[in-house]
Amino acid sequence: MKTALFTNVAVAALLSTALAPTAFADTVAAADPVADEAITEVIVYGQGQSRQIQAVKASELALEAPGTSPLKAIDKLPGVTFQSADPFGAYEWSTRIGVRGFNQNQMGFTLDGVPLGDMSYGNHNGLHISRAITNEDVARVELTQGAGSLSTASTSNLGGTLQFFSRDPSYDMGGELAGTVGSEAMHRLYGRFETGEIAQLNNLRAYVSIADQKTDKWKGGSEQKQRQISAKAVMPVGEGELSGFFNRSERREQDYQDMSFDMISRLGRDWDNFQPNWALANQVGAAYQQAAIQSALTGVPVAPVYPAPVGTVDDAYYYGAGVRDDNLGALSLSYPLTDTISFSGSVYKHTNEGQGLWVTPYQPSP
């Protein structure tokens, strides 16, 4: 659903009129002059917005399949397009999002005010939202179409901003446990424990959650795995609030082969990398290497002859894979200084370890 933010106006009107009772006579008693006065009071509350803001709440995010990227959930909003090679929208290499003609490289993304970069694969200035937080822990997503607010911590928000907000810990002790199974040997387990308010720690409240997901690729071989551990705490500080979160993501994913229109027409939409067919991958590599050697010896270009249905050396590799371990943490303080002035600030840290792997026919194995 979309939620448009406009200036809210509340009007309260009080009209009172009192007339003296009519006597059973030819004359009517004069009315009280005070009762004839109409008293009208108009009270206006609200805050104006110079841009359109749309929001997706936790109740709407919960309608998506567990493990779905929060990015995919906003695809329902007007003017938003989203695409991905996997059904969860979490395979980062293939995900693309656009808002009214602006692509993701021209938009700003934040999580609780922490900049996330531009959602590109392996971006240098942030972290993909699919690794930053699990979708069960997202409270809401706000999309600002058009140039983002100056208060948004981003250097690429010309085309708008997507702000993700994590859920706050509950005031009561409790928790949640959920399991999901699906096709392609997909299974996922999610659990969260809520501490509730802890009076001995100045009414601090917190939660810890963990999600573990594994699924086979819907085409080709191998699997995609991810484990996420999240924690968040909120504590009152006078009239203000101190909050912090820590999220860890461990991701092991096998790539889908990039497909062109020509490849789809020649090989079909279910074409993918060769894994686990090592024999076919080895034949393609041998054909490429033999043609390269003959070309070098004779000085005449020799075209490789590949086994059907392969037409070019780049139709498929044996496999491609990504290994990613990320830690993202932040500490935020908001505090009112006066009735009209408040302070808010955050410090955060992101560490990233990983590697990308491609097994191609270009270099022969030793």
Strands 114-115, 108-111: pairing kind: antiparallel
Q: What percent of the chain has pLDDT over 70?
A: 82
Query: For the residues 81-89, what does the mean pLDDT come to?
Result: 86
At which residue do the structure tokens 């917190």 appear? 206
Distance, in Å, from the CA atom of 57 to the CA atom of 50, rounded to the nearest integer, reads 22
Q: What is the pLDDT of residue 246?
A: 96
pTM greater than the 0.85 cutoff: no
Q: What is the pLDDT of residue 51?
A: 59
Query: For the residues 259-265, what does the mean pLDDT come to?
Result: 93
Closest CA to 168 of 206, 204, 202: 206
Average pLDDT, the chain: 83
Can you read off the two tokens belonging to residue 210? 């963990």
In a 13 Å sphere around the CA of 38, the CA atoms on its Cβ side amount to 3
Q: What is the pLDDT of residue 302?
A: 93
Fold of 52-166: Ferric Hydroxamate Uptake Protein; Chain A, domain 1 (2.170.130)
- 168 to each of 165, 228, 347, how far by Cα in Å? 9, 18, 18
pLDDT at 12 over 70: no
Can you read off the two tokens belonging to residue 366? 């030793």
Closest CA to 109 of 155, 161, 56: 161
Query: For the residues 32-61, what does the mean pLDDT come to?
Result: 62
Can you read off the two tokens belonging to residue 234? 């909120």
At which residue do the structure tokens 């699924």 appear? 215
Can you read off the two tokens belonging to residue 317? 């590799």
pLDDT at 354 over 90: no
What tens digit of pLDDT does each residue of 192-241 get? 999 999 999 999 999 999 999 999 999 998 899 999 999 999 999 999 99
Domain residue limits, the chain: 52-166, 174-254+325-355
Distance, in Å, from the CA atom of 108 to the CA atom of 343, rounded to the nearest integer, reads 23
Can you read off the two tokens belonging to residue 94? 């293939």
Beta bridge partners of 193: 175, 208
